[in-house]
């Protein structure tokens, strides 16, 4: 079965919340200029040394667009060539990854395939959650009732104040909204989980790690551009 990997050796604090969920994080630079390529021998080597022997030979990461496109049965010719926000695959030799700062990553696993998606508010409005579910369920052997979902680190409702343009873009779940003195706060991870449940996904886990509250993770809302996290999944 696909599994969520342990965190990279770059962060060695085994008490950190992301270690409990086996999430890699902490060394992938933003798209603004610095190296973020996991096919860089030095960066890749540091990561792979922290993994077990079942690690895949090829990692695939998207050029993220904050949209709804999740590619399935894609042709792999370059690690970072695909303009999309997620992948679904049955090829056990591949590892799938997405970048994130405050936008949670979503992992879906079925008995025969696995998927990953970058889920910010724009992507949610565009339909990224449903696209990810549809992509993994294209496999005729995959039933939505067999899916397991994992919502990774993202900004929490206490830290994510939004404006009228966000609220007008979609009918957000009432339980995902909080209003304090006319200020509106939105729970993106909960919104993802509720949409998954509405689509029929029964097994959903939210990691509960906030990228803004946690000093070891990067938050675009809090810090601006900088080093971002990567979340990844591969078949064991």
List the CATH number of the domain containing 193.
3.60.140.10
Q: Is residue 161 part of a domain?
A: no
Q: Is residue 229 part of a domain?
A: yes
Ramachandran quadrant class, 224 (left: phi over 0; alpha: psi -120 to 50; beta: rest): left
Instruction: Compute how many other C-beta atoms are within 10 angstroms of the C-beta atom of residue 179.
Output: 8
* Mean pLDDT (whole number) for 52-75: 76
Cα-based distances in Å from 181 to 32, 178, 184? 36, 10, 8
* Structural domain of 72: 2-154+189-235
Ramachandran quadrant class, 9 (left: phi over 0; alpha: psi -120 to 50; beta: rest): alpha
Q: Is residue 50 part of a domain?
A: yes
Which one has a higher pLDDT value, 198 or 11?
Answer: 198
Please tell me the pTM assigned to this model: 0.79
pLDDT at 39: 44
Convert the pLDDT of each residue in 33-50 to its tens digit. Answer: 333 344 455 655 555 555
Measured CA to CA, the distance from residue 64 to residue 223 in angstroms comes to 20
pLDDT band with cut points at 50, 70 and 90 for residue 148:
confident
Q: Is residue 171 part of a domain?
A: no
Q: Is residue 200 part of a domain?
A: yes
SS3 state at 47: helix
Residue 11 has pLDDT above 50, yes or no: no
pLDDT band with cut points at 50, 70 and 90 for residue 127:
very high
Convert the pLDDT of each residue in 210-233 to its tens digit. Answer: 989 988 777 888 887 766 677 767
Percentages of the chain per state (helix, strand, coil), in multiples of 5: 25, 25, 50
Give which of 34, 83, 79, 30 is closest to 229, Cα–Cα: 30
Domain count, the chain: 1
Q: Which residues pair with 177 in a beta bridge?
A: 186
Q: Is residue 65 part of a domain?
A: yes
DSSP of 127-180 = THHHHHHHHHTTSTT--GGG-EEEE--B--TTT-EE-HHHHHHS---GGGEEEE
Contact 104, 151 (CB under 8 A): yes
Convert the pLDDT of each residue in 76-125 to its tens digit. Answer: 655 555 788 999 988 877 878 888 889 999 999 888 888 999 999 999 99
Convert the pLDDT of each residue in 172-184 to its tens digit. Answer: 999 999 999 999 9
Q: Is residue 222 part of a domain?
A: yes
pLDDT at 218: 77
Q: Is residue 93 part of a domain?
A: yes
Q: Would you call 215 exposed, middle or buried from its count of C-beta atoms within 10 A (0-12, 13-18, 19+)?
A: exposed
């Amino acid at each position: 079965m696909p599994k969520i990997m342990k965190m990279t050796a770059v962060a060695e604090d085994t008490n950190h919340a992301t270690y409990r969920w086996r999430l890699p994080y902490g060394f992938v630079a933003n798209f603004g200029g610095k190296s973020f390529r996991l096919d860089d021998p030095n960066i890749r080597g540091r990561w792979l040394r922290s993994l077990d022997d079942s690690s895949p030979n090829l990692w695939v990461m998207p050029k993220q667009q904050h949209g709804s496109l999740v590619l399935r049965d894609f042709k792999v010719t370059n690690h970072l060539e695909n303009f999309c926000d997620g992948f679904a695959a049955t090829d056990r030799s591949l590892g799938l990854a997405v970048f994130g700062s405050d936008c949670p990553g979503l992992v879906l696993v079925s008995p025969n395939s696995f998927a990953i998606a970058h889920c910010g508010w724009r992507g949610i409005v565009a339909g990224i959650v449903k696209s990810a579910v549809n992509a993994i369920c294209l496999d005729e052997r995959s039933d939505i009732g067999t899916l397991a979902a994992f919502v990774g680190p993202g900004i929490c409702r206490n830290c994510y104040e939004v404006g009228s343009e966000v609220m007008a873009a979609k009918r957000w779940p009432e339980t995902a909204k909080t209003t304090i003195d006319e200020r509106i706060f939105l729970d993106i991870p909960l919104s993802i989980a509720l949409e998954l449940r509405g689509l029929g996904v029964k097994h959903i886990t939210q990691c509960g790690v906030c990228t803004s509250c946690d000093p070891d993770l990067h938050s675009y809302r809090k810090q601006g551009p900088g080093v971002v996290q990567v979340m990844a999944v591969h078949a064991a």
